[in-house]
Structure 1
Amino acid sequence: MSRTTPGTLLLSRLGIGFELHPYAYDPAASRIGLQAAAALGIDAAQTFKTLMVEVDGRPACIVVPADMEASMKKVAACFAGKAAAMLAVPDAERITGYRVGGIGPFGQKRTSPTAFDESIALFERIYVNAGQRGLLLSLAPDDAVAAAGAVIADLTA
């Protein structure tokens, strides 16, 4: 498995420190973020999943704890929209350049507005997908927000 992705290249170019955490990806897992946390022995609340959504028909990226569900009402409000829904898998993969199960918030092919759930403030380091199935990276929350050009908001149900 390559440990270089567009996301890791972006973080390196920005001079942001991160650590890589490979794990055995289970394509049959119903909740990939929880499976990754369990495989690495880390807290699921500290492991964040990257979801591609559409708000009033426009793509956006949200990053929420793996053990929580996103509130589409809060997501829509975060991006000043009326309605939000999950983006279809082919659209998410086309926009990000990543495969579902390996979508990370950094280095996406097309930049979309991005928001991290406010719970990132609870941790010194968070774990997010590095842009490849079976590979997470950890970094400081402030660095994650800066690298993604993101906002912080309450996004969970």
Structure 2
Amino acid sequence: MKKGAGPTRAIEALTSANIPFTVYEYEHSPRARTFGEETVEKLGVDPAMAFKTLLVRLNSGEYVAGIVPVSSHLSLKLIAKAAGAKSADMADPRVAERRTGYVVGGISPLGQTTEHRVFVDESCLNHETMLVSGGRRGLSVELSPLDLVEATNAHVADIQALN
């Protein structure tokens, strides 16, 4: 951890659940175009094992979190179907920040201030471990996909858009 920077709610959630994880921290560049690509580049990890967390609003008004590899896009049609809804739209970034308690680019599926149903792309199961945001820009945690599913009570589904 950086000097003076305490643990995030995401790290506290993993610690209190006794889930093994590894923290990776790097200096976030304000010029980074995409946060996920910056993570992959700065940490030198396989883009398929680094995941981003996106908040979407279902047509019912419910907000849910979708977790997909940083190298792909979330399919709004597939996450809506997985959640039992007719349609979904990306949440406004300000709404996502308010509901999760994290800034865009640092939204973690763990320790959100408002509880959301979580959907993680099934490709996570192709990896022994995966990276997700640790709760702020420049901070990632590596953990077992099964531990993430358990910690967030996630549904595993095909939610990636075909490129």
Asked if 1:53 corresponds to 2:56, the answer is yes
Partner residue, 2:143: 139
1:118-145 C-alpha deviation (Å, 9 max, x unpaired): 0001100000000111100000010000
What secondary structure, in the 3-state scheme, does the structure 1 residue paired with 2:20 have?
coil
Q: Distance in 2 between matches of 1:26 and 1:44?
A: 19
What secondary structure, in the 3-state scheme, does the structure 2 residue paired with 1:8 have?
helix
The 5 A counterparts of 1:6-155 are 6-56=9-59, 57-155=61-159
Counterpart residue type for residue 39 of structure 1: K
What is the Cα deviation at residue 35 of structure 1?
Answer: 1.1
Q: Report the count of equivalent residues.
A: 157
What secondary structure, in the 3-state scheme, does the structure 1 residue paired with 2:159 have?
coil
Counterpart residue type for residue 107 of structure 2: I
What is the Cα deviation at residue 23 of structure 1?
Answer: 1.3
Q: Distance in 2 between matches of 1:14 and 1:142?
A: 13
What secondary structure, in the 3-state scheme, does the structure 2 residue paired with 1:29 have?
coil
Could you tell me the percent identity over the aligned residues? 36
Counterpart residue type for residue 106 of structure 1: L
Task: Kindly indicate whether the alpha-carbon contact (under 8 Å) linking 2:35 and 2:137 is maintained by their aligned counterparts in 1.
Answer: no
What secondary structure, in the 3-state scheme, does the structure 2 residue paired with 1:129 have?
strand
1:85-106 C-alpha deviation (Å, 9 max, x unpaired): 1100111011001011110000
Task: Kindly indicate whether the alpha-carbon contact (under 8 Å) linking 2:49 and 2:69 is maintained by their aligned counterparts in 1.
Answer: yes
Counterpart residue type for residue 37 of structure 1: V
Counterpart residue type for residue 13 of structure 1: S
What secondary structure, in the 3-state scheme, does the structure 1 residue paired with 2:79 have?
helix
Counterpart residue type for residue 130 of structure 1: G
1:27-69 C-alpha deviation (Å, 9 max, x unpaired): 3322211111110000111100010111112111011000001
Q: Which runs of 4+ in 1 moved over 3 A?
A: none
What is the Cα deviation at residue 24 of structure 1?
Answer: 2.0
Q: Distance in 2 between matches of 1:117 and 1:6?
A: 23
Q: Distance in 2 between matches of 1:26 and 1:134?
A: 9
